[in-house]
Each structure stands twice: as C-alpha cells, then as structure tokens.
C-alpha cells in the first residue's frame, strides 16, 4: 500500500501522542522517517516537543543537504548510522519514558517475555553502552546494537531507541516496551515477577485465521449504534491507559448468537467502525481477522446469556498482579467488592484453547479475572457495565500497590462483606 501521509505530518502526529502520555519531555527525544528516496525526515534540535509544527520537521537529503527552518536533532548521526546498517528499518523513535529510563540507569534490560504481546511486538531487547549524547560514538554504539538485529535498544543512562518498518510499527514497539517496563516495576513491588517460557509464547503466536467466513447483510441501526458505542469506549480505554495501541479486545453481544469484537492488530487509539468484526454462529464476516481472544468471548456468550459485553485489557497495575501470582483482593472498599466480587485467576494455557475452560470459570457472579501473564478479563451486562468494572479493577489494583509502603492491608471484615452481599444481592 502506498504511503499517502507526508512524513512531516506522521512525525508530528506521533510526537503529539508520545508527549501527551508523558513518554518524553519538552526537550527530550527525537523521531525520524526514512522515505522511499532515502531522505531522512527528523525532529529539529531545541524545539518544544509539546508544540511541534509540521513545518518544524527537518529533511536531510541523500546528498547531505539539510532543508528546514531549524537545525536537525543533535542525535541525527545515530539515526543515519542505523538506517545504513539496517535497510529494513524505515523509522526510529528515541525518547526518555520514565520506566525505560529507570531500567537504563540501573543498566538492566526489560524481559519482554513477561506477557505475549510484548514478546511478539518487541522481541528481545538490545543494549547500547553509554556514549555522550549527540556524539558519533553514541551513533556507532546504537547502530551496532541495531545491527545485532534488535529492534528495541536500551541506551545506558539515557533512554531507549526503537526501530520499525514504518513509524506506526516503531511507535507500537516503543509504547509496548514502556508498558512492559512499567508492569515489571509495579509487579516487583508486590511479588516475584513470573516470566513465560518459549513454549508458552508459541501458544499465542498465531491469530485466528482458521475461522469460517460469511457475507454479512447490511448493518441494522442497532448494529451501527453498537459499533459506535464499542469504538467510543475502546478509544476512551486507550486514553485512560487501560489498553495499549496493540493490546486489548472488546466485544458486545448483538443477539443470542451474534456479537461484535475488535479486529486483530488494529490501533486502539484510532479504531474505526469497520475495524470491528461481526461474529455469527462461529463465523466471522468476510475480510476480517478477529481478535485472538475470539474463542474466549464466543464461549462466554454461549454459556452465559446474561453477559452482553466482554473485555480483555492490559491496565498496568492489574496486569502487574497477573504476572506475579499474587491475589488481587477486592475486599478493600465497598465499590471494589460490589463490582468485582472475588477476583479469580485464569491459568495461562486455558487462554489458548477453545474458550470453554475460561467460560466455566467466569460469570456475572465472578465477573473479573486476572489472565495469568496476560492482563485481565471483565464481563458486563452492557458495554458501559464492562468498562466500569475494568476501571474499578485497575483503580483497586493501583490502590493495593500504593498501599504497600504505607502499611499492612486492612480488608473489610467478613461481617461487612456479608452486609454488602445482602444489601446488593451479591450471593
């Protein structure tokens, strides 16, 4: 497919996304794209990242000529060196997100085998020894790490550099790696981090392309409304950092045997109505590849007629519990218990079967689950209900983690739990 977005627009749009989520500072980091002519488009030096304009982006021609209103980033040598050494890389993101900087100043590398999406998207992470920012030596150090076929590189005492075939792929790797780093740090505050084996990673590698297809009839107004509602909540979930651009599946029941679910490998920030797949009687609408979580959602809808929405998500704090084996105790404040009841854990292997094992574990009486090394699962009677539970689950997880340095957790008493169960019909 031909690229129709100008590199200047793509860089400023991506930079705004990175800056708005505090994954870089006003002065920190740089982005670049190598176009089909071999010219490099790059952010300028010493220009506010929070108000970057398209006309601020600099072009370094193949000839070495520099075009633009400003000087190019002082770190452009490492971008150029990387493009020379890795012709498969067409874009680079370099920034200083807090969690990855924490790893860099401890001279550690985050292990992406903490959950499948990180392993698939980022792969094994490389490491570049310290050299002075902007120096030719730094360029050589980073280019050498990329040359060892790493697509993500921790820069010692500096930050991270990430490459991709295009800027979207580079950003996805960058965001996913920062999420993995945050999750590992949070998990370390509550227990021992559990990593996945190569065999476990292999279980989750292939999207569901073996599902039979059907040609859908024109969408009813109810389907149109449900598509809009799902997209609105998915985009909100991304803004709330409950989903990443590459992770999270959201579905809603349309009728007894029909539901809508997110498509495989779509950007959750910009999801559109046609990036939801209609599933009917085990078949997926033609031309769509549904989420890997398809069979789980399908099995839940088949078994539980009172469930009308299902969400798989990767909020940092709740995901931290999922990678430690530490129980998430919702018996903390009334709202947590009313919405979540007792949060269970779904074994990793059960997530990649036909979905029946997961459907047996969950219900509207057990509407929230930790998916071992894979985030969380929540159920709802409506899309709003499911989203609300997801927010409550993440807020509860964050409160539990934040309580660690304050003192011993004091959950509600059995008598208080029984009082809630009676008042809100939770039994």
Most distant CA pair in the chain: distance in Å? 77
Return all residues near 312 (Cβ < 8 A) that are at least 6 apart: 248, 249, 250, 291, 293, 296, 371, 374, 375, 376, 377
Report the candidate in 74, 72, 57 with the shortest Cα–Cα distance to residue 14. Answer: 57
CATH topology for 203-423?
Answer: L-fuculose-1-phosphate Aldolase (3.40.225)
Q: Which of 10, 75, 169, 175 is catalytic?
A: 75
Specify whether domain 7-188 bears CATH 3.40.50.300: no
- Residue 372, SS3? coil
159-164 and 213-214 beta bridge pairing: unpaired
**Structure confidence by residue, pLDDT tens digits, 321-362:** 999 989 999 999 999 999 999 999 999 999 998 999 999 999
pLDDT for the residue 1? 43
Distance, in Å, from the CA atom of 122 to the CA atom of 120, rounded to the nearest integer, reads 6
- Residue 109, SS3? coil
Task: Decide if 317 contacts 245 (C-beta within 8 A).
Answer: no
Q: What is the pLDDT tens value at each position of the chain, 427 positions in all?
A: 446 789 999 999 999 999 989 998 888 889 999 999 999 999 998 888 888 899 999 999 988 889 888 888 888 888 998 999 899 999 999 999 999 999 999 999 999 999 999 999 999 999 999 988 878 888 889 989 998 999 999 999 989 999 999 999 999 999 999 999 999 999 999 999 999 999 999 888 765 557 899 999 999 999 999 999 999 999 999 999 999 998 899 999 999 999 999 999 899 999 999 999 999 999 999 999 999 899 999 999 999 999 999 999 999 999 999 999 899 999 999 999 999 999 999 999 999 989 999 999 999 999 999 999 999 999 999 999 999 999 999 999 999 999 999 999 899 999 999 999 999 988 7
Report the candidate in 263, 132, 286, 126 with the shortest Cα–Cα distance to residue 213. Answer: 286
Report CA Rg, the chain: 23
Any idea where the domains of the chain sit in the sequence? 7-188, 203-423
Q: How many CB atoms lie within 10 A of CB 55?
A: 10
Q: Please indicate whether residue 169 is annotated as part of the active site.
A: no
């Amino acid at each position: 497919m031909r690229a129709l977005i100008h590199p200047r627009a793509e860089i400023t749009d991506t930079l705004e996304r990175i800056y708005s989520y505090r994954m870089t500072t006003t002065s920190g980091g740089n982005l670049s794209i190598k176009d089909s002519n071999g010219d490099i488009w790059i952010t300028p030096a010493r220009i506010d990242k929070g108000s970057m304009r398209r006309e601020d982006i600099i072009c370094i021609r193949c000839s070495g000529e520099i075009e633009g209103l400003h000087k190019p980033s002082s770190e452009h040598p490492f971008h150029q060196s990387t493009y020379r050494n890795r012709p498969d890389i067409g874009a680079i993101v370099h920034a200083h997100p807090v969690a990855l900087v924490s790893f860099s100043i401890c001279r550690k590398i985050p292990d992406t085998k903490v959950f499948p999406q990180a392993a698939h998207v980022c792969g094994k992470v490389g490491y570049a020894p310290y050299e002075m920012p902007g120096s030719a030596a730094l360029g050589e150090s980073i280019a050498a790490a990329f040359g060892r076929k790493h697509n993500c590189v921790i820069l010692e005492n500096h930050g991270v550099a990430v490459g991709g075939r295009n800027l979207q792929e580079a950003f996805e790797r960058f965001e996913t790696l920062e999420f993995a780093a945050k999750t590992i740090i949070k998990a370390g505050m509550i227990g021992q981090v559990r990593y996945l084996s190569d065999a476990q990673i292999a279980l989750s590698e292939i999207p569901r392309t073996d599902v039979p297809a059907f040609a859908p009839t024109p969408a009813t107004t109810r389907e149109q409304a449900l598509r809009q509602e799902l997209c609105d909540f998915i985009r909100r979930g991304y803004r709330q950092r409950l989903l990443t651009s590459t992770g999270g599946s959201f579905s809603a029941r349309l009728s007894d045997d029909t539901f809508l679910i997110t498509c495989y490998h779509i950007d959750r920030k910009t999801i559109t109505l046609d990036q939801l797949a209609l599933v009917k009687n085990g078949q997926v609408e033609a031309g769509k590849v549904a989420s890997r979580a398809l069979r789980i959602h399908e099995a839940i809808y088949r078994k539980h007629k009172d469930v009308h929405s299902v969400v798989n998500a990767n909020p940092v704090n709740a995901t931290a519990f999922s990678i430690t084996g530490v129980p998430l105790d919702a018996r903390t404040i009334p709202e947590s218990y009313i919405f979540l009841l007792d949060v269970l854990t779904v074994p990793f292997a059960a997530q990649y079967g036909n979905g029946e094992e997961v459907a047996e574990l969950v219900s509207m009486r057990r509407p929230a689950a930790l998916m071992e090394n894979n985030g969380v699962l929540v159920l709802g009677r409506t899309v709003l209900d499911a989203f609300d539970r997801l927010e409550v689950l993440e807020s509860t997880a964050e409160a539990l983690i934040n309580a660690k340095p304050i003192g011993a957790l004091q959950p509600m008493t059995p008598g208080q739990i029984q009082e809630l169960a009676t008042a809100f019909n939770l039994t």
